[in-house]
Amino acid sequence: MINTKICSLLNIKYPIFQGGMAQISDACLAAAVSEAGGLGIIAAGNNTPEEVKKEIDKIRTLTDKPFGVNVMLLNKYANDISNLLAEEKVPVVITGAGNPGRYMKLWKDAGIKVIPVVPSVAYAKHLEKAGADALICEGTESGGHVGETTTMCLTPQVCDAVRVPVIAAGGIADGRGIAAVFSLGADGVQVGTRFLSAKECNVHQNYKNKVIKSKDTDTAVTGRKTGHPVRVLKNKLVTKFKDLEKNNATVEEMESLGRGRLYKAAIEGDVDYGSVMSGQIAGLVKKEQTCEEIITEMFYEAETLINNLHGFISGGCNE
Number of independent structural domains in the chain: 2
Q: Are residues 42 and 185 in the same domain?
A: yes
Q: Are residues 123 and 32 in the same domain?
A: yes
Residue 277 belongs to a domain: no
What is the structure's pLDDT at 127?
Answer: 94
Residue 251 belongs to a domain: yes
Label the pairing between strands 230-233 and 219-222: antiparallel
Residue 51 belongs to a domain: yes
What is the structure's pLDDT at 158?
Answer: 96
Residue 279 belongs to a domain: no
Q: Which of 190, 117, 120 is nearest to 148 (CA)?
A: 120
Residue 18 belongs to a domain: yes
Residue 290 belongs to a domain: no
Question: Which amino acid is residue 113, in one-letter code?
Answer: K
Dihedral sign (CA 223, 94, 9, 27) = negative
Helix axes 151-161 and 175-183, enclosed angle (nearest 10) = 40
What is the structure's pLDDT at 253?
Answer: 83
CATH for 56: 3.20.20.70
Residue 222 dihedral angles phi and psi, to the nearest 5°: -110, 160
Q: Are residues 55 and 174 in the same domain?
A: yes
Non-local CB neighbours of 270 within 8 Å, separated by 6+ positions: 206, 264
Q: Are residues 13 and 62 in the same domain?
A: yes
What is the structure's pLDDT at 281?
Answer: 94
Per the structure, the complete domain to which residue 118 belongs is given by 5-202
Residue 86 belongs to a domain: yes
Q: Are residues 128 and 251 in the same domain?
A: no
Q: Are residues 254 and 148 in the same domain?
A: no
What is the C-alpha separation between 219 and 232, in angstroms, rounded? 5
**In the listed set 151, 179, 202, which residue is the last one of a domain according to the structure?**
202
Q: Are residues 38 and 79 in the same domain?
A: yes
* Residue ranges of E strands in 113-263: 113-118, 135-138, 144-145, 166-169, 188-191, 219-222, 230-233
What is the structure's pLDDT at 2?
Answer: 84
What is the block-wise mean pLDDT of the chain (319 residues), using blocks of 10 residues? 91 96 94 98 92 96 97 89 95 90 92 95 94 94 86 96 97 96 96 96 96 95 80 94 86 84 94 95 96 97 90 61
Its pTM stands at 0.92
**In the listed set 177, 202, 227, which residue is the last one of a domain according to the structure?**
202
